[in-house]
């Protein structure tokens, strides 16, 4: 498979390549498929951090196209992890639909980084959707390991089964599911209306935002311009584009 120019750039930047072997699959909802893999030495070579994601390479008429996927339940001891695929149209979903034990897919590690904030924040504010739930769960797992900072989260959904996806919450956490309406405007409006100077401590809270790209930008703009949150207290990434 011939890599795109992106592959060349990643290699120049020190990216590490691995070959993953499919070991199984599970349907977690009618719209999401979980693929299990052996990591080909990936976790041992790169280490592991919360919200970690990798780039998978998919063949499209002989040319390689990369898509990013968050690790689900990574286990360095066994060298295994899983990834969740949304079953919409596209080369990644098409690959996942037919993936079977023994299949090989190429992966690149470059660009993923996250350090849990220290000291522990007063509150963590999260905005995401089903695509970012694996990352959110790894963030909450790290939170549980270092303390009990409460989390307030808004999750946008498009399919009826989406709210059944498991979110790793504890007693003081609050999760609100919001249906996707008006190209994401409903999510942005509800989140920005709730994130007010009275509710938020710009100096003590932490904000993690990973949803559709334009929604992510709008929410980050609100945090920076309206609330005055320092960029170092925000971790944001547009997970997909409408």
Domain CATH for 73:
2.40.30.10
Upper half-sphere CA count for residue 225 (Cβ side, 13 Å): 7
Residue 147 has a pLDDT of: 81
Q: Check whether residue 66 and residue 150 sit in a common domain.
A: no
Q: What is the CATH number of the domain that holds 187?
A: 3.40.50.80
Expressed as residue numbers, the domain containing 208 is 124-236
Strand pairing partners for 109?
16
Domain boundary among 109, 144, 177: 109
Domain boundary among 77, 109, 141: 109
Residue 13 has a pLDDT of: 47
Distance CA(239)–CA(35), nearest Å, equals 19
Residue 195 has a pLDDT of: 97
* Within a domain: 116: no
Q: Check whether residue 16 and residue 65 sit in a common domain.
A: yes
Region for residue 111 given its phi and psi (left: phi exceeds 0; alpha: psi -120 to 50; beta: otherwise): left
Residue 183 has a pLDDT of: 87
**Single pTM value for the model:** 0.89
Q: Check whether residue 53 and residue 93 sit in a common domain.
A: yes
Residue 148 has a pLDDT of: 84
* Within a domain: 67: yes
Residue 239 has a pLDDT of: 73
Distance CA(58)–CA(182), nearest Å, equals 31
Q: Check whether residue 72 and residue 12 sit in a common domain.
A: yes
Q: Check whether residue 89 and residue 63 sit in a common domain.
A: yes
Distance CA(104)–CA(20), nearest Å, equals 6
Residue 7 has a pLDDT of: 53
Residue 143 has a pLDDT of: 93
Residues of the chain with pLDDT under 50: 5, 8-9, 12-13
* Within a domain: 117: no
Q: Check whether residue 178 and residue 231 sit in a common domain.
A: yes
* Within a domain: 119: no
* Within a domain: 94: yes
Overall domain count for the chain: 2
Domain boundary among 55, 76, 109: 109
* Within a domain: 241: no
């Amino acid at each position: 498979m011939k890599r795109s120019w992106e592959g060349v750039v990643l290699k120049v930047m020190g990216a590490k390549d691995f070959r993953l072997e499919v070991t199984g699959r599970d349907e977690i909802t009618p719209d999401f498929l979980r693929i299990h893999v052996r990591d080909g030495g990936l976790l041992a070579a790169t280490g592991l951090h919360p919200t970690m994601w990798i780039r998978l390479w998919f063949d499209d008429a002989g040319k390689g196209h990369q898509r990013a996927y968050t690790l689900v339940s990574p286990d360095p001891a066994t060298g295994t992890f899983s990834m969740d695929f949304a079953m919409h149209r596209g080369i990644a979903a098409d690959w996942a639909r037919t993936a079977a034990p023994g299949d090989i897919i190429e992966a690149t590690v470059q660009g993923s980084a996250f350090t849990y904030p220290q000291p522990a924040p007063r509150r963590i504010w999260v905005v995401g959707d089903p695509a970012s739930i694996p990352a959110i769960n790894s963030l909450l797992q790290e939170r549980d390991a270092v303390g009990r900072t409460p989390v307030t989260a808004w999750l946008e959904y498009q399919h009826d089964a989406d709210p059944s996806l498991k979110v790793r919450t504890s007693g003081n956490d609050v999760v609100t599911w919001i249906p996707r309406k008006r190209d994401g405007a409903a999510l942005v409006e509800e989140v920005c209306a709730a994130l007010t100077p009275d509710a938020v401590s710009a100096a003590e809270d932490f904000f993690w935002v990973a949803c559709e790209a334009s929604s992510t930008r709008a929410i980050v703009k609100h945090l920076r311009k309206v609330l005055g949150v320092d960029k170092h207290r925000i971790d944001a990434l547009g997970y997909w584009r409408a």
